[in-house]
Each structure stands twice: as C-alpha cells, then as structure tokens.
C-alpha cells in the first residue's frame, strides 16, 4: 500500500484505521499530550500555576496562553 492510497486529510481530527478503529491525527495527538503534560505539571505543583510554569520551563504568561489554547482552567 502506498501512502497516497491512505486518503489522509490534514485537517481531520481523527480518522479510522482499516479495521474501523479511531486514530488521532498528529495535531490531535499533540494537543492531547501537551494538555495532559500541562495538567500533570499543575498537579505536581500542588495547583500553583507559577510553579507549574517553572516546572515546564516557560514564563507564567506563556503558561497562561497555553492553558487558554488547550482549554485548561
């Protein structure tokens, strides 16, 4: 099978495999992983968002931008 035969679309959030299972697009996979990592940092920092940002190695401003981007409250 050739890659061209897979009928991939870049903008689709997920697609199905040959056996009908759901499969995340790379963008959706990345979004889920980053979101989970941010949430894990918040938990590890005991809810302190400044400390969570420090754990992630980003500024507080960048941290809040990412929280907004990924729908984290």
- Map out the domains of the chain with their CATH numbers: 24-73 (1.10.10)
Q: Examine the pLDDT at 60 and tell me if it is beyond 80.
A: yes
Strand ranges (E), the chain: 14-16, 22-24
Q: What is the pLDDT of residue 51?
A: 98
Among 65, 64, 34, 69, smallest CA distance to 49 is for: 64
What is the band of 22 on the pLDDT scale with cuts at 50, 70, 90? confident
């Amino acid at each position: 099978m050739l890659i061209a035969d897979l009928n991939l679309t870049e903008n689709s959030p997920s697609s199905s495999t040959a056996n009908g299972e759901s499969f995340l697009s790379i963008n959706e996979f990345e979004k889920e992983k980053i979101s989970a990592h941010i949430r894990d940092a918040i938990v590890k920092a005991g809810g302190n968002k400044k400390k969570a940002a420090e754990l992630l190695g980003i500024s507080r401003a960048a941290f809040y931008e990412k929280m907004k981007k990924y729908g984290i409250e």
